[in-house]
Structure 1
Amino acid sequence: MQNIYKIFYVAFSNFHTRKELPWFNATLLLTSCSASFTLGLLAVTGLFHSVRSIFTFPTMPEKLSTLFFVITLCGMYWFIYYYILFTKLKISKSDGSCPYYKFNPTRREKILTWAFLIILGCSSLILIGIDMIFIQFLSLNTMYHYLPLYISIFSKQGYV
């Protein structure tokens, strides 16, 4: 809980000087980063289509069911973070203070927190890229698929 508060506080303090609702923007940032990580993880593990099929109906297009799934996922994370931050931790929406934890981040802590949020926000692209390069392209299935080709090339050159 303390780490969630630290991440929220860094995002809150950045939005506090620029926006009217900094608590809303900070919570929205946490929600979108968590949803991005979850979608990337579902895509890499191959569970995305099976989970998304919960939201399909016979006459519904595939993109619309994906939209319903993403909206439901973001709403779920919004309610989880709202409950943790504003009900359990009792964070003030006006100044971002918490009665249980005191946190005055240094410049280094702010930079590391923003780096974590950026990596978490882009994690779906990172995970899908890792899946495409290392799991699908370099997998053993690909090697076994091209094995007869490799054998014929090496046999012509006298290695086999």
Structure 2
Amino acid sequence: MTYRVCFVCTGNICRSPMAEAVLRARVADAGLDGLVEVDSAGTDGWHEGEGADPRTTAVLAEHGYALDHTARQFHASWFSRLDLVVALDAGHLSALRRLAPTGQDAAKVRLLRSYDPAADAGDLDVPDPYYGGVDGFAECLEKVEAASTGLLAAVREQLEGRAA
């Protein structure tokens, strides 16, 4: 059975597609293709149908990540098919939990940086790089990569639990 993860930020053109690309690469490197499906969306539909921000794709390419992406908005009906919904900041976390149809669905929502043991527990947001320069996108990638190791371990644990 496939384990489904969806990353969510505001417009689905910066942080969430970046996280999607990183986790997808980690899943492939771990030999979990076919067992884990990785996706992303935004809490709002402002950029629906657009590609990722060019600064996102540039920073990803510079670090060896591939991304084929079209922005879209997250819908409450998706909770029923997802195993984990990963928010990029506390605002997204709150919005997604309010959107969740059930308490069980709300429990599927986690902050990405909660998977980074080195992250400051008082500040688990991945800052939005949209209004800044390319340095903000590089910082975003660093935070995403740092959390993705723990996230992959958690996903692997869930897969092993299903197999048992």
**Higher strand residue share:** 2
Bigger Cα Rg: 1
**Higher helix residue share:** 1
TM-score by length of 2: 0.26
